[in-house]
Amino acid sequence: MVKHMILWKLREDLSPAEKEQVKLRIKQELEALADMIDGLTEIHVQIHGLPTSTADLMLDSTFTSAEALAAYAVHPAHVAVADSAVRPYTVQRSCLDYETE
């Protein structure tokens, strides 16, 4: 199994209400990919971090293999969500991919 985790920071020019709307949209659209992409076994987006957090939201996903993760990266449904719901509203992205036992 392969874990794919991403932390995002949202644009500072978004109001608190806009940030909440954006986070909810990202969560809904990314989690909707669960049944669309082969090899994606789990996908969760955390949008309610504690005040000590330095990121605004986190993607936590699991894939059957590194090849499945690579296929997800270019899958049209994933690219559409990234291009419409994520990239226009984020300024920072950190990613950690790793194999589990």
Percent of the chain beyond pLDDT 90?
98
Is-above-0.85 flag for pTM? yes
Query: In this predicted model, what pLDDT tens digit does every residue of 33-54 receive, in sequence order?
Result: 999 999 999 999 999 999 999 9
Rg over alpha carbons for the chain, rounded to the nearest Å, is: 13
**Beta carbons within 8 Å of 39's beta carbon, 6+ residues apart:** 63, 64, 65, 67, 68, 69, 71, 72
